[in-house]
Chains A and B, each alone.
Chain A
Amino acid sequence: MKTNKLSWMIAFVLLALMFAGLYVLEQTLPPTTMLFTILKKSVIYALIAVSMNLLNGFTGLFSLGQAGFMVVGAYTFAILTIPVQHRAMVYQYYDGGIVQFALPAALGILAAGAVAAVFAFLVGLPVLRLKSDYLAIATLGFAEIIRAFIQYEGLGPLTNGSNLLRRFPTFTGIIPPFAIVAFCIFIIVMLIHSTYGRALKAIRDDETAAEAMGINLFFHKQLSFVISSFFAGVAGALLAMYQGSIQAASFKSSMTYEILLIVVIGGMGSISGSILASFLFIASSEWWLRFLDNELFIGTFKVPLLRSGFRVVVFSVIIMAVVLFYRRGIMGDREFNLRFLTRGRSKAKERKNG
């Protein structure tokens, strides 16, 4: 118990240090630095990846509906928070839309999660009875259906059809997205460590055995699905805030695939793996591998292959290599912890118990 408490304390100290570091960065670097853009996007992807990991890695439900719940979250947020004076302009084809009030951003984010969760509950009722591949394709299908409905002209006064939604509140600094994501991930971690979390893992390991042990399969699957979608919705709202404008067309199934690949790179069933992988994924795809997109001359020699688009090719080759040869990802199903600091003590304890 003591080691456990200690590692919680260390985690909190590290978090505090991280926020202090971010604060210092924000005070010293100009706000347009690439680093901030990358960090913001990474941290939002971290939340999406963790929420997907809760389903795929911890509950063993192979769901591909993440983009669908994100688009619900993003739209809920945008619809509820666009200031009233801007509505006439944003909804120019629909006479200012039918929503004529605006919530503060914080409430908007909560609502985004809540609406996504309600959608997930309704979608889950039929879909969660399906197994593995069928579940994957049905959730993928639902995401497409949701996207089609949002783009439907008839819902234009609400969703602005296939036009952009913009002018809603955005982030003012780098601290808010980090704080929100840290809080959300903390809740997910708590859930995983609870008895519910253990039940989810039991379902992942062997459904039939779990049922025989008295675990209500449907209830727990539904729980995991709804919670995961809640956070996907929140992440969708954050992504909207990050981008400054949203369009349903960009929430395609390829977005879900990207997130799935992040989860796999980090390790299915490892929260810290997902977080780490999100930062690596975003940083390398948006930043570190940028040079591959530019033509490069060494003297008069033109380096072959380098031109626009080469970056993503190299990147997907790396991903394939991870998937094929490093199947368990960076972390496997282990968590990053600071046991090595307290190893002596926990080893001694293991020996005593063991």
Chain B
Amino acid sequence: MKVLMLGWEYPPHISGGLGTACEGLTRGLAAEGVEVTFVVPRAFGDEDAGHMRLVSPQNLKQAVAQAGARVVRRTEVEEETTPELAQIVEINSILRPYQTPETYLRERIEVRNGKRYRVTEHLQSVEDLPEHTESGGGDHYGHDLFSEVHRFADLVGKLAERIDFDVIHAHDWMTYPAGLEARRRTGKPLVVQVHSLEFDRSGEHVNEGIHRIERAGTRSADRVIAVSHYTKSVIERQHGVEPEKIDVVHNGVTRAEAVTRYHVEPDDDEKMVLFLGRVTYQKGPEFFVRAAEKVLSRYKKARFVMAGSGDMLEPMKKLTRDLGIEKHFDFPGFVRGEALEKYFTLADVYVMPSRSEPFGITPLEAMAYDTPVIVSRQSGVSEVLRHALKVDYWDVDRIARLILAVLNHRVLSDEMLEMGTREVLQLHWNAAAKKAVSTYLRVTGSGGAEPVNGSFF
């Protein structure tokens, strides 16, 4: 089985859980003997992709620069490819996840002005690639996000005509037009995977353009993979896709080989409550702040950390000032790597009060660092976690009450972690990959037979 997989980010250059999920899934697929060609709008060269053939980003950048914005030198890519099961192909595009057209434009202007230190996760990725911003690459960018999406589609379509695969697997809306274009040009079946929906990200204020692309992608795909039953139900409701066409494939968990343990100072009184993720409408940060106010009325020595960036960050800072609890809050911005490990380790409890979270992998990461979790019931991850505390995101009283309980009763954390760790270990990416393969088999016909547009005689 050969898969043309369309993503838009790959660790460590990620702004959400999608890149992590793609890494886990492709590793699982490699273990299943599936050959994956993974196409991303941009690669940086330091991706940890031992299971894949990692194409040199410098060469690719040169190739892209030489080719301008339109063409990927696929032949060069193939020349460098050793017979590994999966490879990453970079196509020069500014596509990055979870952008709205507005933030995309704002980012573009600031890049041109040489402002490299903006405090959003999107641009922090760019900081790691100074030559990119200095190269004047902005000239190649399209005028808006949608034209980027369609340009990516055009590039992928051309690439698809030249390589061999059995099925197209597209991750989230920005790659759906590319997936559809690849199918149009090759006749190969299309599987679209929904990690996140515009409805999840923006609630009732959906961007119509994105909503339409999602609808077209999920309706016309041969099959749809949803990362949770929760997401499946939202797809049915929002896009009218028949449930029989949607398979649920829960994300797995990648255990870090060695988790860095930070020595926790034996400060018995001060406890840390952690929010970590994009500070956006979808993630429900205001419920975290409102709950903090209630917790502090009973537990003075609690420290609240809101790690992440996003358009709700400033409003959240203001809210803490308005509530008079800013002294108890830290806003370290987007964190990753060592800093992220440190926050996960030091936290006494991790809270994910998302309004709508198709899966939500960070609670599993928190648990890997021995931090108990409180998760929104409006999340896919709550379907696979039993040893976690669950809340309706709007139920600020309950969030506060559960935080207090964890801070007050050490045994609660200990028990949840002991049981939860066993549970999480059972969530393998291999299991997710197996389910994805069965979806592939359904669209290609059993055993990966010739697709429908094969020879007609």
Partners in one complex: no
Q: Mark B residues whose CB is within 8 Å of A.
A: none
Measured CB to CB, the residues of A under 8 A from B are none
